[in-house]
Amino acid sequence: MDDTTDLHIDLRQMILAIETAVSLVGMNDTNHGKRVGYIASQLGHELGFSELDIQYAFDLGLLHDCGVSTEQMHSNLVNQFDWTDAQLHCDIGYKLLNSFAPLAKFATPIRYHHTPWQQLQQMEISPHDACMANLIFLSDRIDVMGASHYGKDILLARQDIRQSICQHAPHYFSPELVAAFVTIEQHEAFWIALENRHVTRYTWDMSNIASPQQLTLPQIKQLSLILSYIVDQKSPFTAQHSLLVADLAKFIAKCYGLFDEQCDKVEIAALLHDLGKLHTPDDILEKPGPLNSVERAIMNQHSYETYEILRHIKGLEDIARWAAFHHEGINGAGYPFHPNQRDFSIESRIIAVADVFQALVQDRPYRDGMPLEQVLQILDQDVTKGKLDGEIVQLLHRLANDCFSIAKGLVASDNNLRMHQLTA
């Protein structure tokens, strides 16, 4: 990827990346968003939706759970038909998307995608938004009831699913949508297509339909800020970690002398570097003590998960590597790729140093944030061991007080301002 301002990214590829990241929270079931998108698109086809509305319904299904960050929230949503606090993730998703113009059209349906149909009828929202919100609610509940049966006995379980859905109409679901479901569920192909291998292929086919919306670099940065918020909400002990690593990495990159656009891309990669942690169990992230060998082995997978989320986005190939290499070492140690020195770019090295520095100054479950002098000593030791780039660490020594203030969140930044606006 060259250093020009002509970078444009297909919006649908970014939507797929959001779904891939958020679905990781499901731990052992990472295709929920894809299946909801598939069900919604099939219902839309049965109802005679336009091709654009079918694509909209599919994308909405991919995005509908973007407000979910924790295992506990995910568990409550899939184990209770009408969880009392379901609206929490709807409101979070609304705030995140409503602030981002290219995805704002999905915000209102996401806000109401757990609102019963009879309540929706009393609200001042457009008929289109009400229909799409209820479409996703229905699709979501169908999938939740079917999830444990895919690839096994779904053709036997479908009768119970149909009966349950019909029992909940018309309070929860539009009678028109339920009638469409009763029609399409009679086709075995509808249910078989929901198996992981099939729904993944369907999603791939849909991803090849290019979006008319192309994202510019500033828009990618804004969307990366949204994704970093989702990740950092997974644990109170990592709140703002991605944001502050990005602020610090960009500051170091500027002081190192990288071009402005390189600095922007470093910032984006740093915002996205921990996306894979959405697949790390909550109890590991919040453990009040050092991890044991099994827990550490699980934790060490998150960098690869980050790479898998980002590498399929055409135009972000370099950013995917920079983000995924944040735990690599100059000496080939670290994880998970062990790149040689030639492939371990300066951008990756800057993010690696920024990540260590910010983590050390931040409070964690088993220790308080460290003072600057102690942090610098640890960085120097990592240089001696061949883990961190000595030139970057020396630069950080010269900028130590500024770096410490940035990493602690004591310096107002554009990202802090945008995050405040995002969550207000």
Burial (CB < 10 A; 0-12, 13-18, 19+), residue 51, is: exposed
Q: How far is CA 107 from CA 65, 113, 125, 240, in A?
A: 11, 10, 12, 23
Average pLDDT, the chain: 91
> Which band of pLDDT confidence, cut at 50, 70 and 90, is reported for residue 423?
low
Fold: same for 31-207 and 216-423: yes
pLDDT of residue 424: 63
Closest by CA position to 407, among listed 367, 365, 366, 370 = 370
**8 Å CB contact between 347 and 266:** yes
Concatenating the DSSP letter of every residue in 8-32 gives: -EEHHHHHHHHHHHHHGGGTT---H
Q: Could you tell me which residue, 114 or 343, shows the higher pLDDT?
A: 114
Token pair for residue 368? Answer: 């308080």
Sequence spans of domains, the chain: 31-207, 216-423
Over residues 336-363, mean pLDDT:
92
Q: Choose among 278, 418, 415, 246: nearest CA to 347.
A: 246
pLDDT tens digits, residue range 377-422?
999 999 999 999 999 999 999 999 999 999 999 887 777 766 666 6
Task: Give one DSSP letter per residue of 269-326, joined into a string.
Answer: HHHHTTGGGGGS-HHHHT-SS---HHHHHHHTTHHHHHHHHHTTSTT-HHHHHHHHTT
| Residue 314 a catalytic site member | no
User: CATH for 31-207?
Assistant: 1.10.3210.10
Q: What is residue 297's predicted lDDT score, i.e. its pLDDT?
A: 94
Residue percentage of the chain with pLDDT more than 70:
96
Report how far residue 148's alpha carbon sits from residue 199's, in angstroms, rounded to the nearest whole number: 15
Could you tell me which of 144, 81, 91 has the C-alpha nearest to residue 116?
81
* Beta strands at 9-10 and 214-215: parallel, antiparallel or unpaired: antiparallel
Q: What is the 3-state secondary structure (H, E, C) of 143-178?
A: HHHHCCCCCCCHHHHHHHHHHHHHHHCCCCCCHHHH
Orientation of helix 71-79 relative to helix 87-98, angle to 10°: 120
Separation between Cα atoms, residue 226 and residue 107, nearest integer Å: 13
Please say whether the beta carbons of 218 and 386 come within 8 A: no
**Cα–Cα dist 351/346, whole Å:** 9
Cβ atoms of 350 and 323 within 8 Å: the answer is no
- What integer pLDDT is reported at residue 417 of this predicted model? 66
**The amino acid at 372:** L
Strand-pairing partners, residue 361, are none
pLDDT of residue 69: 83
**Given pLDDT bands bounded at 50, 70 and 90, which one contains residue 62?**
very high
For residue 4, pLDDT over 60 is answered with no
Q: Which overall architecture, per CATH, does domain 216-423 show? A: Orthogonal Bundle (1.10)
Structure tokens at 9: 């990214």
pLDDT tens-digit series, residues 203-255: 988 888 877 788 999 999 999 999 998 888 887 667 789 999 999 999 999 99
Residue type, 63: L
What integer is the mean pLDDT of 326-342? Answer: 88
Structure tokens that stand for 312 in this block: 């399929």
Mean pLDDT (whole number) for 55-72: 92
Looking at the predicted structure, is the pLDDT value of residue 20 above 60?
A: yes
* Tens digits of residue pLDDT in 39-48: 999 999 999 9
For residue 281, cis peptide bond before it (omega within 30 degrees of 0):
no
Which of 196, 269, 202, 241 has the alpha carbon at shortest distance from 26? 196
Q: What would the pLDDT profile of 97-116 be if each residue is shown by its tens digit?
A: 998 999 999 999 999 999 99
Q: Which sign, positive or negative, has the C-alpha torsion 330, 335, 340, 346?
A: negative
Other Cβ atoms closer than 10 A to 391: 13
Identify the active-site residue in 95, 234, 265, 277. 277
Residue range 257-315, pLDDT digits in tens: 999 999 999 999 999 999 999 888 888 888 888 889 999 999 999 999 999 999 988 89
